[in-house]
Amino acid sequence: MMGMYALFVLASFYVANALNVSNMTYSEFKELQKTRVSPPTKPYTSSPNKTNSPPVVDWRYIMTPIKDQAQCGSCYAESSVATYEAMWTIHTGRKHNFSVQQAMDCSTTQGNEGCNGGWMHSVYDWIITNEGIELNSEDPYVAITANCTPSLNKTQIAFLDNWVYVKPTQKDIISWLPLQPVTVAVAADGCWQEYTSGIVTGKKCPSSLDPPELDHGVVVVGYDLTHKIPHFTVRNSWGTGWGEDGYIRIAINFTHDKGLFGIASQPTAPLIQ
């Protein structure tokens, strides 16, 4: 475990390097997007939800506070841990802020590379192998790649049974969301860098209709099918000063199979039995 002085120095570094993506050059901005995707390693899973999905779902009330990944390509860990935190709250009724830092540093055993990026599902694999994850208070986020900190307090770590690939369609994401938030990869382009509020549509952001490589991990926490522009609500990891208090709303576009920014290209969901 880090000494108190070391923690203070690293925490000061983290605060000083909080994100303001609007002030970055585009190349600097793209350096933050380090989520990786690869061909599925197991079959897609249909939603266990066998009822009609409600017209509105919004899980923001159970989410832990929005995180700021700072100058570190940890979005894959931020999004996976945030989705897992939500699933843990749904399953147990207890809200915990788990350690993104530990997930980032220790999932190198699953092929991830700390601030240099990684796979969201590899974070889930690490939580399963590790038989849980520490609280953020035990291993706080410092926005640099550090040595893996072993689980220190076994009475406080949680567990994960499995994770699945959600079928890669917007309709399947909608079917899963009444049960839990879903982790997704998107192509975060200049529209994300410039976003302040409102619903992003293909008309407002033409590049979203033909996205390049998926590179950013985020969490779909809900949808609204009653709005004149049906949309997803998505949690980001760039602090509360970005977007709508850290969230972005993205139009649901069924004419484009994978959705805007490729949002339905490779969704995943953690499972607790």
75 is catalytic: yes
Active-site residue (options: 75, 115, 191, 205): 75
Q: Is 102 helix (H, G, I), strand (E, B) or coil?
A: helix
∠ Cα 144 149 150 (to 5°): 160
Residue 237, CA atoms < 13 Å, CB-side half-sphere: 29
Cα gap 84→27, rounded to integer Å: 31
The yes-or-no answer on residue 191 being catalytic is no
Instruction: Kindly state the tokens that stand for 137.
Output: 């208070």
Annotated catalytic residue, options 112, 130, 236, 253 = 236
Which among 157, 124, 121, 127 has a CA at the least distance from the CA of 139?
A: 157
> Annotated catalytic, 136?
no
Active-site annotation holder among 216, 231, 253, 256? 216
CB 220 within 8 A of CB 232: yes
**Which residues are known catalytic residues?**
75, 216, 236
